[in-house]
A = this chain, B = another copy of it.
Amino acid sequence: MTRWAPDAALRLEAAALDLVAEQGYAATTVPQITHRAGLTTRTFFRHFADKRDVFFLRDREFPRVVAAALEGLPAETAPLAALQQGLERATSPLAQWREPILRRRAVIRAEDQLRERELLKSGHLADAIAEALVARSRPGTEVTPAEARLLASVAVLVFDRALDSWLDGPPLSPLSAHLADAWRDLAALFGP
């Protein structure tokens, strides 16, 4: 597909993470990042909308992955069950990325500018989930747009919480277990 070095975005991401680990986010400039990656400043902004975006390269396709997982489920599956199963399937590949995700989270947590971008990405994930829920809505398991938005918000809340406890927990505990815990904790607030 791409001709030149196909990993320009990945090189920029790696350079950015290195520099931020050394100097912090504020002290790291885009020219520094591009110089380390062997590129120019202008090229950086062709791959990323702004300086913050370089730290969210991996999140770009995740909404589509979750949406695809949802639409791949049997039509009879009720919305809430579909969210549980869809999240579990979409997140299973994350197991092998635990360490880089951990390092990236440390960077994001340290800077409000990155934290708000992370929240926006979660918002986009919720949008994609809501859209997918409406798309797979069938007579019998009907989902209105308003219900879909609520379900999607809840799903993202559960996902974020499960991801956090997974990253904070022992290295080998499966993410799926933390997802189940998060669903159970939430239901326990309203159930008996």
Contact = CB atoms under 8 A, between A and B. Distances in A.
Contacts of A185: 147, 150
A172 interface: no
In this complex, the interface size class of chain A, counting residues with CB under 8 Å from chain B, is 20 to 34
Nearest to A188: B190
A157 interface: yes
Contacts of A150: 161, 185-186, 189
Instruction: Summarize A's interface: helix, strand, loop or mixed.
Output: helix
Contacts of A106: none
Contact of A190 (B115, B123, B147, B190): B190
Contacts of A94: none
B120 A186 contact: no
A117 to B, nearest CB: 6
